[in-house]
């Protein structure tokens, strides 16, 4: 009784083969990631220091630090998210909680999905046309942030809608039936139970906003601009700025004889900025999840 | 408790979901302070009719309603009716217990918080919670568990909690949509007992697929079929001498 037949043995072999295949695939994904990070740090090691962060590039960007582009990127990411996050979340709340099925909302939903797939260079061109030229803001941090906001908005709306839709319908029913208004329902029950998902969606957009070159290059970032070191308010909203993504592009392709460490150091800092924003969002998420009622 | 004979009266109530007519000219009356059971095969519109009584159907998409609904003598489609006040007076219990993902305590005071702009006095809240839990027979079991998650309770405790959370709002009418279908025999018995205790203080409408339950708990019984109200009478009469052939067929289990 219970002996393995030929068929069960074949199934067992298949089972272990599949397991090895899946494990290998996972390693294949993780390995390059670790390699990239290791390689970046290895190449950047000679230059990484506090001074590197806090000094402007000098000697035609062949030495010195990356203060100006670092601060620029922080400004761009922060301002674009300050614009895109509330607008995106409120739009998603409207679409998911208030709007009724109609051709209008169907068109809007379709537009959101399709806008999320528009290449960034197209957004760049739109930003140049709409904000820099038409609205007359000029090439500036504001125009670039608005462009990044427009670029990240559709994805934030889509991911927020998904997070809202994941909240069980029965929670809403429970609220309606004690006489809660829609907004009370959203504030007391829907948002607290979807905030993790919403913030995850927003986090993913940080790296997009920080990493894109074209949208900021067209609308507000410059090749070189020295700013007051040590002053976190060295940029004004209507100033042009440097940005890490563009700086990386410049020193690795446009300027001859840049030491390797400088290029890789810039890449490491760009990565650091993204991780920093992610960490902030994760902290916020933990804090908000702690209190389910607000 | 008002002294009208009927707390719910509908006249020629019809309802459409988009093009689909879910209720056909329903004229229904529920006696004040009694338990009325709604029976009928799946999809005949029992839930829909219940949701008319606190106008919560309007939250479920494209709904058109015609006819008249009077609760406690008041036409609930009158201009001056506030949906918030209406839903406060007409509570609802669902098929699957749906406590909010909060603590037991917070679940019960949720309604009070929703309806009062100012911060509520803590001792008054404690009292309301104790009263509500006592009313549904949960106080002994839960008085030390008020700070634990409502979703971690057993299903029957969750269902009783869902009833308890309506009580602090002092409702007139409690609507129950198959409240026992997720519960086992013993829990069902307890909830039925609870309903009989609550009757008198509240008008209760219960939807059920369980004929025996309808017989046990209801004073009056209404049979629906394909959006129509076929027959409505005292429960004994309906089960012993149904007037309509279709009612007889249904309660004998020949369809549905
Ligand atoms: N939100 C809705 N949109 C469209 N149609 C609906 C909606 N809710 C219910 N219906 C339809 O209306 C009819 C009546 O539904 P209802 O839920 O009232 O039936 P029920 O008697 O409660 O059935 P059950 O015993 O299965 O709960 C069904 O045919 C159903 O498909
Ligand atoms: Mg139903």
Instruction: Quote the percentage of chain B above a pLDDT of 90.
Output: 63
Confidence band for A77, pLDDT divided at 50, 70 and 90:
very high
Which of A228, A76, A74, A231 has its CA nearest to residue A142? A76
Does pLDDT of B1 surpass 60? no
Enter the tokens of residue A286. 């933990």
Residue A4 lies in a domain: no
Residue A223 lies in a domain: yes
| Mean local confidence (pLDDT), A192-198 | 89
- Note the pLDDT of residue A185: 93
Residue A27 lies in a domain: no
Does pLDDT of B146 surpass 80? yes
| Mean local confidence (pLDDT), B63-77 | 92
- Kindly list the residues from chain A whose CB atom is less than 8 angstroms away from the CB atom of residue B92: 173, 177
Q: How many domains does chain A have?
A: 1
Sheet with B90-93: list strands edge to edge: B90-93, B173-177, B203-207, B35-39, B220-225, B228-234
Does pLDDT of B145 surpass 90? no
Does pLDDT of B109 surpass 50? yes
Q: Which DSSP symbol is given to A255?
A: S
A176 and B87: CB-CB below 8 Å?
Answer: yes
- Note the pLDDT of residue A208: 86
Residue A22 lies in a domain: no
CB-closest option in A100, A170, A173 to B61: A100
CATH label of the domain that carries residue A165: 1.10.3720.10
Of B14, B16, B26, B47, the one to substitute when testing ligand 1's pocket (max ligand atoms within 8 A of C-beta) is B47
The whole domain housing A170 covers 70-289
- Taking the domains of chain B in order of start, what are their residue ranges? 3-251
Does pLDDT of B255 surpass 80? no
Does pLDDT of A271 surpass 50? yes
Average pLDDT for chain A: 89
Confidence band for A291, pLDDT divided at 50, 70 and 90:
low
Q: Which DSSP symbol is given to A167?
A: S
Residue B51 Cα to ligand 1 middle (Å): 11
Superfamily of domain B3-251: P-loop containing nucleotide triphosphate hydrolases (3.40.50.300)
Q: Cα separations (Å) of A75 from A50, A64, A162, A277, B31?
A: 20, 21, 29, 12, 67
Minimum mean pLDDT among A18-22, A30-34, A183-187, A278-282: which range? Answer: A278-282
Does pLDDT of A23 surpass 70? yes
| Mean local confidence (pLDDT), B77-106 | 91
- Note the pLDDT of residue A294: 41
* Residue from B71, B86, B103, B110 to probe the interface with A (highest A Cβ count within 10 Å): B110
A101 touches chain B (CB under 8 A): yes
Average pLDDT for chain B: 90
Matching residue, tokens 């068929």: A7
pLDDT of A86-141, one tens digit each?
999 999 999 999 888 788 889 999 999 999 889 999 999 999 999 999 998 989 99
B57 pocket-lining for ligand 1 (C-beta < 6 Å): no
Residue A64 lies in a domain: no
């Amino acid at each position: 009784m219970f002996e393995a037949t030929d068929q069960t043995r074949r199934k067992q072999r298949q089972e272990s083969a599949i397991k090895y295949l899946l494990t290998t695939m996972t390693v294949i994904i993780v390995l390059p990631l670790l390699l990239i990070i290791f390689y970046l740090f290895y190449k950047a090691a000679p230059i990484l220091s506090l001074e590197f962060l806090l000094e402007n590039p000098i000697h035609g960007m062949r030495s010195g630090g990356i203060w100006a582009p670092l601060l620029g990127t922080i400004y761009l990411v922060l301002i674009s998210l300050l614009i895109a996050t509330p607008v995106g979340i409120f739009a998603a709340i409207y679409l998911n909680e208030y709007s009724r099925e109609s051709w209008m909302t169907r068109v809007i939903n379709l537009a959101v999905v399709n806008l999320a797939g528009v290449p960034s260079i197209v957004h760049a061109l739109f930003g140049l046309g709409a904000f820099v030229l038409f609205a007359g803001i000029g090439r500036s941090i504001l125009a670039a942030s608005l462009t990044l906001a427009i670029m990240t908005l559709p994805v934030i709306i889509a991911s927020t809608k998904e997070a809202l839709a994941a909240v069980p319908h029965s929670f809403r029913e429970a609220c309606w039936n004690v006489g809660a208004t829609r907004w009370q329902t959203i504030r007391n029950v829907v948002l607290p139970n979807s905030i993790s998902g919403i913030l995850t969606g927003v986090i993913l957009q940080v790296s997009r906003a920080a990493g894109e070159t074209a949208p900021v290059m067209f609308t507000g970032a410059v090749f070189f601009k020295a700013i007051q070191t040590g002053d976190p308010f060295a940029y004004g909203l209507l100033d042009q700025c440097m940005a890490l993504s563009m700086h990386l592009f410049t020193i690795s392709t446009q300027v001859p004889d840049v030491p390797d460490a400088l290029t890789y150091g810039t890449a490491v800092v760009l990565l650091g900025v993204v991780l920093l924003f992610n960490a902030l969002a994760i902290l916020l998420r933990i804090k908000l999840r702690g209190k389910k009622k607000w | 408790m008002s002294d009208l004979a009927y707390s719910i009266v509908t006249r020629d109530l019809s309802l459409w979901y988009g093009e689909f007519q879910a209720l056909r000219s329903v004229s229904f009356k529920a006696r004040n302070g009694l338990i009325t059971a709604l029976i009928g095969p799946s999809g005949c519109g029992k839930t829909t009719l219940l949701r008319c009584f606190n106008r919560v159907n309007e939250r479920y998409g494209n709904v058109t309603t015609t006819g008249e609904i009077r609760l406690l003598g008041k036409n609930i489609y009158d201009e001056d009716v506030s949906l918030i006040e209406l839903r406060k007076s007409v509570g609802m219990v669902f098929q699957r217990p749906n406590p909010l993902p909060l603590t037991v305590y917070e679940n019960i005071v949720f309604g009070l918080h929703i309806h009062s702009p100012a911060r509520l006095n803590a001792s008054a809240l404690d009292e309301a919670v104790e009263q509500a839990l006592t009313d549904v027979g949960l106080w002994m079991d839960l008085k030390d568990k008020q700070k634990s998650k409502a979703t971690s309770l057993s299903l029957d405790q969750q269902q009783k909690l869902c009833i308890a959370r309506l009580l602090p709002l002092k409702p007139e009418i409690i609507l129950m949509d198959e409240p026992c279908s997720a519960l086992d025999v013993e829990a069902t018995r307890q909830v039925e007992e609870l309903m009989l205790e609550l009757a008198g203080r509240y008008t209760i409408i219960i939807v059920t697929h369980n004929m025996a339950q309808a017989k046990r708990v209801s004073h009056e019984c209404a049979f629906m079929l394909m959006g129509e109200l076929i027959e409505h009478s005292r429960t004994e009469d309906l089960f012993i001498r149904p007037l309509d052939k279709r009612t007889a067929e249904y309660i004998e289990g020949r369809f549905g």
